[in-house]
Amino acid sequence: MATLHELVTPDSIRLDVRAADWHDAMRTVGEVLVSAGISDDSYTESMIHNVEEHGPYIVVSPGFAFAHARANDDVHHTGMAWIRLAEPVEFGHESNDPVTLIASLAAMNSSSHIAATQQLATLMADPTKRTALATAATPEQFHAALM
């Protein structure tokens, strides 16, 4: 089982990203997945469609969204991308908006998805880790906080 630290590289992290709205933020995190060779543009569109169809269920804790979709032929290997927004965006979640941090997972299978989800829950419940992610000055520092 890969760890979060192994699923993402500093090249898959963008800090202080500007986004006009949640659609823009989701497109940006999807572009990071695509540029890393993890998935195709169609996977990004699937992530956005999920939120349009099911609502902001991906906003799983205050200020944090976990973007994902069902993998088809548009996921090349399991991996993650992270973006931290310069200004928060609203997804429409009653209690966890606004969002400043988005992790996007493209998983080849459900066991990889479940393992990553469990690790994310542990990470986001740790106030020290949350602070490290919020204050990292570089993608390398952000990546180190995922350990």
42 vs 53: CA distance, rounded Å: 16
Residue 70 has pLDDT above 80, yes or no: yes
Give the closest residue to 99 by CA, choosing from 13, 19, 3: 19
pTM of the shown model:
0.94
Instruction: Select which of 68, 76, 113, 143 is catalytic.
Output: 68
Over residues 41-69, the mean pLDDT reads 96
Q: What share of the chain has pLDDT > 70, as a percent?
A: 97
Q: Which domains does the chain have, with CATH numbers?
A: 8-142 (3.40.930.10)
Per the model's pLDDT, the better-predicted residue between 71 and 16 turns out to be 16
68 included as an active-site residue: yes
The pLDDT value given to residue 121: 87
